[in-house]
Amino acid sequence: MKRINIDSTRLWHTIMEMAKIGATPKGGVKRLALTETDKAARDLFCFWAESDGFEYEWDSVGNIFVTLQGKSKNLPPVLIGSHLDTQPTGGKFDGIYGVMAGYEVIKTIKEQGIKPSRPITVVNWTNEEGVRFTPAMAGSGVFSGVYTEEEIYNSTDNNGMTFKNELEKIGYRGHRKSVDYEAEVYIEPHIEQGPILESENYKIGIVKGVQGQLSLDVSVTGFESHSGSTPMNMRKDALVSSSKMCLALNRMATEQFPGSVATVGKMIVHPGARNTVPGKTYFTIDIRHPRKDILFEMESKIKQHFQNIADETGTKVEIRKAWFTPPVIFNSICAETLRKSAEFLGYNFMEMVSGAGHDACMVNNKVPGCMVFVPCEKGISHNELENASPEDLATGANVLLYSVMDFAI
């Protein structure tokens, strides 16, 4: 077949236009879900869709669907999507690239005069980031039946405003139930949000799945005492005990469990006085691995090691499981289609597992799904310095184009 390509200049332009909405002084974007900036981004997306002659609508939780109709309206569509909301100090590409790449694909297919056999729909999922409202991936979660509409409607932000009221306020609460939508397959394009593709010099990542995540809350209790008059060998220092636990966790992930990552992201020290031996600490642990059994083995080892450290330091430790998200395995046929497209186009690629969660994790519960990654500069994401090259973004969009045509033409 004659090779066609997306318009890389146009793709870059749409991403940069979106980046103006909620732009920050340091070159990033702040566009929290269901705010006026989110509304402005949604309005622009819908304006483009109407101007280009596409059908569009939004569902009961504000997910926006822009559709290139096929020969048969009765067949479930090929779905492409991601999100337009960002972190408070977010970048221009996280989520936005996926929506704009999808939109560029349906524009290209339409311009080429190609009539797909089934519809192709680009979706903007509501509240992927979970910054203003929790849980994250709310819109895709309701679509997939993981969350109920009422659960999401009743969630509140820090000012007590409900999701439902704020959705209505910006005018994006639709009538059609999100869970009633169907799709044949789902593909999510995304920047990698990590350094692997760039460091290994690959243009494309074929994402086989997403790591599981286990989050633990740890409390260590020692004994508060005077920092000047308590001998070192008579202390029950909760912070020293916690520090040894953190180092043990780091060694475990580095040496015992290859492929895992472990992070202590938050620590609180009590009483937090300059001249008092800490009597209590609280810290969080985030561990991730592609295999559930490894995560549970790590949890068991953590409990064992931490108890030994507590015994050695004369402290007490309590460990509570905050949450567990099982690993996600994406549809193999969908991933194989991405691989064949990359091969046909002559792009080098690697298979990989995503370290971060995405809407595709939710959608995969209902619709066969997969993801395609492109490199981002130095792996930086969730940061105003987030960056990706126009060439790499176009490469990913071309792989998306051929994969979508494989399913829809």
Identify the structural domains of the chain with CATH numbers, from first to last. 8-210+327-408 (3.40.630.10), 212-325 (3.30.70.360)
> Percent of the chain having pLDDT more than 70?
100
pLDDT at 85 over 80: yes
Residue ranges of the annotated binding site are: 83, 94, 129, 190, 382
The two structure tokens encoding residue 327: 């690993």
pLDDT at 13 over 70: yes
pLDDT digits (tens, 9 = 90+) for 34-66: 999 999 999 999 999 999 999 999 999 999 999
Per-residue model confidence (pLDDT) at position 130: 94
pLDDT digits (tens, 9 = 90+) for 364-383: 999 999 999 999 999 999 99
How far, in Å, CA of 52 to CA of 109, rounded? 12
Q: What is the pTM of this model?
A: 0.89
CB 54 within 8 A of CB 161: no
For residue 39, what are the CA distances in angstroms to 25, 61, 96, 153?
Answer: 21, 14, 14, 17
| pLDDT, the chain, mean | 97
For residues 7-37, one letter each, b for 16 or more C-beta atoms within 10 angstroms of the residue's C-beta and e for the rest, the string is ebeebbebbeebbebbbbeeebbbbbbbbeb
pLDDT digits (tens, 9 = 90+) for 271-327: 999 999 999 999 999 999 999 999 999 999 999 999 999 999 999 999 999 888 889
Per-residue model confidence (pLDDT) at position 325: 86
pLDDT digits (tens, 9 = 90+) for 217-271: 999 999 999 999 999 999 999 999 999 999 999 999 999 999 999 999 999 999 9
Q: Which residues contact 120 (CB under 8 A, 6 or more apart)?
A: 67, 68, 70, 77, 78, 80, 105, 106, 109, 404, 408
* 358, β-bridge pairs: none
Residue ranges of the annotated binding site for Zn(2+) are: 83, 94, 129, 190, 382
The two structure tokens encoding residue 194: 């990590």
Per-residue model confidence (pLDDT) at position 1: 58
* 217, β-bridge pairs: 284, 320
How far, in Å, CA of 19 to CA of 282, rounded? 38
pLDDT digits (tens, 9 = 90+) for 382-398: 999 999 999 999 999 99
pLDDT digits (tens, 9 = 90+) for 146-200: 999 999 999 999 999 999 999 999 999 999 999 999 999 999 999 999 999 999 9
